[in-house]
Amino acid sequence: MIDTTTDAHIWADRFDGALDDIFELQDQVASGVVGAIEPKLRQSEIERAGRKPTESLDAYDLYLRALALRDIHTDESMREAIALLKQALAIDPNYVPAKAAIGWSRIHQRSHGRSPVSEADATEAVAYAREAIASGKDDPDALYMASFTLFYFAGELAVAATAVDRALALNPNSAHAWMVRGYVSMPEPDSAIGAFERALRLNPFDRLQRGFIGGIAVAHSLAGRYEQALDWSLRALREEPTYPTALRTKAIACAHLDRIDEAREAVRQLLDLQPWNSVARTQQFYARLLGPQAAAIYVEGLRRAGMPEE
């Protein structure tokens, strides 16, 4: 794939498979191409928006710039991303992707930031997500981002599942939508793992691959499979050594495996990144998100790993 405006090379790949079932191979190739091209095209669009002069930016360009900033994973970049999204909404108050992306950005802020997301900011993100679902029923990207926000900040599992399932009906080759489906399916760990594996098959080199892999680690931990949880958390940390979700899962898995020194080291690294973490915050968050049984697994593991109580 070539960008005809700049002659820049965007994407190329090859597919190998047996011709025993040509139609199955055709479906695999089509799915693989769509799953790989979508994020490449998005990245190309982000780079194009980045080259535009500030005075020429419209709502879509501001949205793309916000996506790029969000992926830098600093508190400053997160704040700037959300400011750009609100600028986009000032230009077009009905711009659904910007509404959905505010919650998506707040999720990244909580999972990576050195400061927790305030109740007011979480409430605002949930409100925007509800609006995005109500008015963006034919926009798969807006639906999966809004779905994740409602699951993550409001614990509305049923509403989130319905929204992400609609996103997948509209675009079954969206690796990011399958990732969200995995997290929404966490009460059933094996179903969650199937969704994350689907995301990995669709795009094994995605910029959010750590989220696919880290999700598998979380699902194994919730199923009590701590060896597998540790293996997958280590794999996620190879993708991003400072990934808080993977560090937390590593700490929990090591604690349940009586590898206490490793568990304590993982907690130390996590607290260096996010000093606001505590057992109490974890219990409150995961009890609302996944229920008391899942929260108990987290709490027991983190206590044994030396996480502060408050």
What is the DSSP track for 216-260? HHHHHHHTT-HHHHHHHHHHHHHH-TT-HHHHHHHHHHHHHTT-H
- 8 A C-beta contact, residue 221 and residue 297: yes
pLDDT at 160: 97
Q: HSE of 186 in the Cβ direction (CA atoms, 13 Å)?
A: 29
Take residue 151 and report the two structure tokens written for it: 């699951």
Q: What is the pLDDT of residues 97-128, one digit of tens each?
A: 999 999 999 999 999 988 889 999 999 999 99
Distance between CA atoms of residues 267 and 97, nearest Å: 36
pTM: 0.84
Where are the chain's structural domains?
41-172, 210-310
What Rg do the C-alpha atoms of the chain give, in angstroms? 20
Number of Cβ within a 10 Å radius of residue 114: 12
DSSP, residue by residue, the chain: -EETTTTEE---------STTHHHHHHHHHHHHHHHHHHHHHHHHHHHHHHS-GGG--HHHHHHHHHHHHTT--HHHHHHHHHHHHHHHHH-TT-HHHHHHHHHHHHHHHHH-SSPPPHHHHHHHHHHHHHHHHH-TT-HHHHHHHHHHIIIII--HHHHHHHHHHHHHH-TT-HHHHHHHHHHTTTSHHHHHHHHHHHHHH-TT-TTHHHHHHHHHHHHHHTT-HHHHHHHHHHHHHH-TT-HHHHHHHHHHHHHTT-HHHHHHHHHHHHHH-TT--HHHHHHHHHHHH-HHHHHHHHHHHHHTT----
pLDDT at 71: 76
Give residues with Cβ within 8 angstroms of 297, minimum separation 6: 221, 222, 224, 252, 256
pLDDT at 13: 63
pLDDT at 11: 56
Take residue 159 and report the two structure tokens written for it: 């509403």
Output the tens digit of pLDDT for each of the chain's 310 residues. Answer: 565 555 555 556 665 666 665 555 555 555 555 555 666 555 555 555 445 544 446 888 899 999 988 778 888 999 999 999 999 999 999 999 999 999 999 999 999 988 889 999 999 999 999 999 999 999 999 999 999 999 999 999 999 999 999 999 999 999 999 999 999 999 999 999 999 999 999 888 888 899 999 999 999 999 999 999 999 999 999 999 999 999 999 999 999 999 999 999 999 999 999 999 999 999 999 998 888 999 999 999 999 999 999 8
Distance between CA atoms of residues 165 and 178, nearest Å: 9
Take residue 184 and report the two structure tokens written for it: 């929404």
- 8 A C-beta contact, residue 62 and residue 95: no
**Fold match, 41-172 / 210-310:** yes
pLDDT at 54: 44
Distance between CA atoms of residues 220 and 287, nearest Å: 18
pLDDT at 72: 82
Take residue 286 and report the two structure tokens written for it: 């995961």
Take residue 276 and report the two structure tokens written for it: 């606001």
Q: Which CATH class is domain 41-172?
A: mainly alpha
* CATH architecture group of domain 210-310: Alpha Horseshoe (1.25)
